[in-house]
Amino acid sequence: MFWNRMNPHKISSFCKGFGFAIRILFKGFCLILLMLFSRYPIDSLPTEKADLQQWIQERWQEKENRLQNFEKDKTFYGPTFTSSMESTLYLAFILWTSLVLSLFYLFISSTFFFWWTISHVLLFVALSYASLGFQTICVAVHEFWSKEKIL
């Protein structure tokens, strides 16, 4: 895709702005996530504070060296795992956009849906002012029913 040819520092500025949705449709999502995980056995970690500080400094320097190599070679050394989420992101974008447009159409064209939406908005606003919000009521109901099932 297009982001493979772009400078990683320019990607964040490319994704900003009013035309983000248009860019998604015609050029793809601005998604780059590079992660490196290293596992260290617990027995290999130092226990003394001075030794631990030295160990952390060495890991920090190791990270800095990897970043410098990445800036120079545009790749990390070692095993890599790549995942193509582009089709999933396009599908999510299309589905959520169609849902919003459908609900907007129903809001304008259906009197029942209009009043149903207004009543639920007022209900949730009232719940937010009267309590800590709808989510706390959901948690309380779940705790109530789960206690009933356990007994």
Q: How far apart are CA 75 and CA 69, in angstroms?
A: 7
Residue 120 lies in a domain: yes
Burial environment of residue 139 by CB neighbours within 10 A (0 to 12, 13 to 18, 19 or more): exposed
Residue 81 lies in a domain: no
Residue 146 lies in a domain: yes
Residue 87 lies in a domain: no
Residue 44 lies in a domain: no
Residue 68 lies in a domain: no
**First and final CA of the chain: distance in angstroms?**
56
Helix, strand, or coil (residue 58): helix
Give the global pTM. Answer: 0.36
Residue 62 lies in a domain: no
Q: How far apart are CA 30 and CA 17, in angstroms?
A: 13
Q: Please report, in tens digits, the pLDDT of each residue of the chain (151 residues total).
A: 333 444 444 444 444 454 555 556 656 655 566 677 778 888 888 889 999 999 999 999 988 888 888 788 777 666 666 666 667 778 888 999 999 999 999 999 999 999 999 999 998 888 878 777 777 777 778 778 776 543 3
Q: How far apart are CA 103 and CA 114, in angstroms?
A: 10
Q: Domain limits at 123?
A: 110-151
Please give the tally of structural domains in the chain. 1
